[in-house]
Amino acid sequence: MSGRNTPRPASPYRRRRIIWTLILATLGLTFYFNFISTTSFREVVINRLGLTPSSSRRVQEIHGLLHFVTAHPGRRLDETEGSINAAGVGLVKVDPTDLVDLRVFSPDGDDNWAHHLGALKAEHPLIVFSKSYCPYSRRAKDLLATYKLDPPPTIIELNERSDGPIIQSILRRLTNRGTVPNVILHGTSIGGSDDIMQLHEQKKLKSVLQEGGLKVSVV
């Protein structure tokens, strides 16, 4: 009769369930305080998947920069006391080491990015960031000229822009290339002078450009 008051031993299944509940709760709290409370969930997912930090955002940002330099040739990122006045955000001092709001790259307030990307693809598929006095930039531009491209490369001479250093720093962050020339095909850097010269010598440059949608008239 005394056995009625003896507690029943917990089943192994119940013990395992309690242990796993505690483990999951601990992991959840650790995840929240270490990540969610300090950054966005989207960034955490990107990092945990092993992607380059802000890789999906970088695609948009590089196209935003390319749109800015091609569609707004008269605007500068430092045009007003080191800042730019952009519709929707006001006066912005661009930090090239940090993400740039896309509205800065479309300072007139036109946020039709589908149209902007279409225009880049059709009119400016190949963009060369250069410096007019740089012999490596000159060599790259001369080489590309021999291919008689249609549309021709869009050349951005950074030394002729007050915001050239800012743009070059942004390019360093987005393309991992901080030198000129920086040859960009559809938003992706295909290298500098030595890189495209190597592609040329390996007889690969023509196909790379053609696959990028450019018409090549070189024999």
To the nearest 10°, report the CA torsion of 45, 50, 53, 56: -70
Cα 93–95–97 angle (5° rounding)? Answer: 175
- Rounded Cα distance, 189 and 140, in Å: 14
C-beta of residue 156 within 8 angstroms of C-beta of residue 127: yes
Tens of pLDDT, residues 31-66: 544 444 333 343 433 343 333 444 444 558 999 999
Question: What pTM was estimated for this model as a whole?
Answer: 0.74
Structure tokens, 147: 């291919």
Tens of pLDDT, residues 6-21: 555 556 666 777 777 7
Round the average pLDDT of the chain to a whole number and report it.
85
Tens of pLDDT, residues 159-200: 999 999 999 999 999 999 999 999 999 999 999 999 999 999
